[in-house]
Amino acid sequence: MSKHETFYDVIRQRGVSRREFLGFCAVTATTLGLGPAGAMTVAHAMETKPRIPVLWLHGLECTCCSESFLRSGHPQASEIITSMISLDYDDVIMAAAGDQAEEIVHDIIRDYRGEYILAIEGNIPLANDGMCCIVGGRPFRQQFDEAAKHAKAIIAWGTCASSGCVQAARPNPTKATPVHKLVSHVPVINVPGCPPIAEVMTGVLSYILTYDRLPELDNQLRPKMFYSQRVHDKCYRRAHFDAGQFVEKWDDDGARQGWCLYKMGCRGPTTYNACASMGWNEGTSFPIKSGHGCIGCSEEGYFDRGPFYERLPDMQQWGVESNADKIAVAGAAVLGSAIAIQTGATLVKRILTGKSLKDTPIEDAPETPGNQK
């Protein structure tokens, strides 16, 4: 692989026409919100900049991120993107195996020190010296540390790498730890979602290639262009929320009419993701559109915020099925009983001691108010 080979060279060799190439650039520019001139910026970058070598490592994960990435919507996008970045190592899709494959990792770290992008899918289990995830006969932790140390930037694919996801759910027996907690000197981009939307993944990569810098990130290290709005903000059922029309049961008339799924536990109002605007599978649909509430898969600790079909999450600190309102009712009941008991006891005491206002002799009252006895 020549260091100066550009993305454009590669796709021309593959028989993609210039017309198709410019079409891809236009779609990418639009996805990234770059405006009409952006297409040419993208095209120029692809024609002139050397391809970025990418190491794609898999930790404790389920490969749903890769599955999503390979289904990137725009025609040929998966092919284009996989040639755009020089995906030198990805054990899911590469042909090499064994020592030969592991050799590639070493070569890239050695040859492209400080220049390659490290894409991490899944997270790093720390319990038992990392024995819960073994890659190439060694704990994944070791491979990750070696690769992370000399990377230009790290992309943490999916909720696993961003915040832990299912394998970090309580009690987190393998001590699965997200990427950004283990890296200090290399910039990290979190691209959460279980999995992230394919076009979001390719969009992040395209941005890095086009501008040779990382996209603007929010305070949880997520690219603002895709994660600055909640699913609720762009939801096409939002009008039913504002109107106060909710699905109350899965088989009621509201469900048939496509009313808001808020009462069915939809996490749209607390989930930052681009599902409602970009959609999945080439914009075909997204969970709410197919009649199921959002489960908030791109949020930190979402798996511990169940049940997914109830508005209020369980608060297991106070018992398995308690939630904020049940705690409130219990507290109010205790307080109400205390009030009733105290009032009753006061009355009983008054009756028993025979003390009441009538017993106060009128003569004892001082004649002038304010007169101290």
Partner 1 sequence: MPKFIPYHRMPEKGLLPAVMVYGPGIRIWHWLNALSVVVLAITGYFIGIPPPSAIGDTSSLYVMGWIRLLHLAFGYTFALLAIMRLWLVFAEGGISHQLFLPAIWRKVWFDGFLRQIQWNLLLGGPLRYVGLNPLANVAMLTMFVIPGAIIILTGFAMYAEVTGHDSWQYLLFGWVTMLFGNTLDLHVFHRLAMWVMVWFSMAHIYIAVREDILSRQTVVSTMLSGERQFRD
Binding site for partner 1 (CB under 8 A): 163, 218-220, 224, 228-230, 233, 239-246, 248, 254, 259, 262-263, 267, 269-272, 296, 299-302, 305, 311-313, 315, 324-325, 327-328, 331-332, 335-336, 339, 342-343, 345-346, 349, 364-366, 369-373
Distance from C-alpha of 193 to C-alpha of 203, rounded to nearest angstrom: 15
Query: From the CB of 162, what's the least distance to partner 1, in Å?
Result: 11
Hunting for tokens 């038992």 — which residue is that? 128
128 vs 343, which CB is nearer to partner 1?
A: 343
Query: From the CB of 198, what's the least distance to partner 1, in Å?
Result: 24
Nearest alpha carbon to residue 261 among 281, 283, 231, 282:
231
- Is residue 287 within 8 A of residue 293, CB to CB? The reply is yes
Q: Which phi and psi angles does 46 have, rounded to 5°? A: -70, -30
Burial of 186 (0-12, 13-18, 19+ CB in 10 A): middle
97 vs 362, which CB is nearer to partner 1?
A: 362
Q: Supply the Cα-derived Rg of the chain in whole angstroms.
A: 30
Query: From the CB of 367, what's the least distance to partner 1, in Å?
Result: 11
153 vs 312, which CB is nearer to partner 1?
A: 312
DSSP state of 230: B
Query: From the CB of 258, what's the least distance to partner 1, in Å?
Result: 10
- Is residue 116 within 8 A of residue 55, CB to CB? The reply is yes
Distance from C-alpha of 257 to C-alpha of 205, rounded to nearest angstrom: 39
137 vs 366, which CB is nearer to partner 1?
A: 366
Query: From the CB of 370, what's the least distance to partner 1, in Å?
Result: 5
146 vs 233, which CB is nearer to partner 1?
A: 233
